Structure 1
């Protein structure tokens, strides 16, 4: 679980986060949504420990980040898995090499132990026969699965995803969403996802945090988002005709 308590983050005169508080539970898919410039990326980087809030605190399973020693912060970062927007795979490494990279960097496991772990996570993301291929030889959806495998190879407590469906066709995006949700539940991970994809919100949004101008404008579940009267949320969510129709159908069913 991650508890965020009244965090503020500024860059010069730009006050980007203005006292955001929330809780992300483990075993659930927690989604952050909002327009460009709302503070989503800065917020995610604060959770990753890449940015330090000037005020407030972030607590990871009862441990305040602000009170951790440098060594404890390094250990905490090794408990975090990250799926980047563009997958961020090493072009010169094979699929297996990309997934093994964190193990080589941060553990003292034998080659045999690392190989077994790599095989296990690649099997989990349904990439049994891709070990020796290079990123350029596989599809965008397969690259995302490699990125997910690399993110979970260290058995993280926390999984962060930045626009995991970026650049994917709708069918593949649904597969990636379902895979992230399944892994979150199986490993009881605290998963936090930055997304613009409203299909993801409706598909796997167990907890949704909506940021606007650096503030927490709204939070709730994918079902509650249909009921809200918050104008900023409805303007964002129902900006497309598709979701306007979905909401109207929901209202009619309720009546």
Structure 2
């Protein structure tokens, strides 16, 4: 579990995070949502240790990040997997070289062990006949699978995803959402996803954190989001036509 307590972060005179307190649960897909400028990207980067907090604490299974020494922080980084918005694959490397890169950098595995682990995660994310291909030779959906495989190759305790469905068609986006959720449950990972995609919220939103102007305006589950009277979250999600249809259907079902 990742616990966030009274976190504040400013840039100059602009206060971006204003006393955020929440938690991200192990074995669940935890989503951070909000409009542009709400602070969700700053919160994600704060969780990753990219931004130094002005005040408050972030702890990883009881370990407070700001209390860690350099060695402990390096150890924590080996426990983190990251899926970037644009996949961030190395164009000059093959699929298997991209996936094996973290093992070469952060593990003591020999070449045979690396090959076995890479083959395992390639099979797990269902990358078919892609081992020796370059990123430019595969589809956007397959590139996302490579990014996920690379993120989990080192058996992370924590998985962070920044807009994992960016640039994908709706059908492929659902497939990627479901893959992330399956991996989260299968390996009992604490997964945190920064997204603006309401389809993702309705598909895999086991814990949803909604930020508005740097404040935690609402939190709950994908089921609770359909029943909330919180004006801030209702205004935000009602921009989604799909959400309107699902909420109407949910309300009709509740009356039966």
TM-score normalised by structure 1 residue count = 0.99
In structure 2, distance between residues paired with 1:176 and 1:95? 17
Q: How many residues align?
A: 255
Separation of aligned partners in 1, 2:186 and 2:215: 32
Structure-2 separation of matches of 1:78 and 1:241:
40
2:198/2:240 contact within 8 Å kept: no
Over residues 174-217 of structure 1, what are the superposed CA-to-partner deviations in whole Å (9 max), with x where a residue is unaligned? Answer: 10000000000010000000011101000000000000000000
Q: Which deviates more from structure 2 when the two are superposed, residues 106-115 or residues 186-195?
A: 106-115
Q: Which runs of 4+ in 1 moved over 6 A?
A: none
Q: Cα RMSD between the aligned structures?
A: 0.8
Structure 2 CA distance for aligned equivalents of residues 29 and 115 of structure 1: 29
Where does residue 35 of structure 1 map in the other structure? 35
Consecutive unaligned residues in structure 1, runs of 5 or more: none
Partner SS, residue 52 of structure 1: coil
Aligned position for 1:174: 174
Counterpart position of 2:237: 237
Q: Indicate the SS of the match to 1:23.
A: strand
Measure the CA separation in 2 of the matches of 1:79 and 1:182. Answer: 19
Residue 217 of structure 1 corresponds to which residue in structure 2?
A: 217
Partner residue, 2:105: 105
Partner-residue secondary structure (3-state), 2:49: coil
Which residue matches 2:54? 54
Give the deviation of 1:250 after TM superposition: 1.4
Structure 2 partner of 1:200 = 200
Q: In structure 1, the residue corresponding to 2:218 is in which secondary structure?
A: strand
Aligned residue for 2:92?
A: 92
Shift of 1:253: 1.7
Report SS of the residue matched to 2:129.
Answer: coil
Question: Secondary structure of 1:191's partner?
Answer: strand
Question: How far did 1:106 drift?
Answer: 1.1
SS of the counterpart of 1:253?
A: helix
User: What are the superposed Cα offsets for residues 39-70 of structure 1, whole Å, 9 maximum, x if unpaired?
Assistant: 01000000011111110000101111111101
Q: CA deviation at 1:245?
A: 2.3
The Cα offsets for residues 9-57 of structure 1, whole Å up to 9 and x where unpaired, read as: 0110110000001111110000000000000100000001111111000
CA-CA distance at 1:220 after TM superposition: 0.1
Give the distance between the partners of 1:127 and 1:141, measured in 2 at CA.
10
Q: Distance in 2 between matches of 1:71 and 1:15?
A: 31
* Alpha-carbon distance, 1:93 to partner: 0.3
1:108-187 alignment, distance < 5 Å:
108-187=108-187
How many angstroms apart in 1 are the aligned matches of 2:251 and 2:128?
A: 45
Offset of residue 248 of structure 1: 1.7
Aligned partners of 1:49 and 1:11: how far apart in 2? Answer: 16
Aligned to 1:248: 248
Query: How far does the alpha carbon of each residue in 1:154-179 deviate from its partner, in whole angstroms, 9 at most, with x for none?
Result: 10000000000000011100100000
| Larger displacement relative to structure 2 (243-252 or 39-48) | 243-252
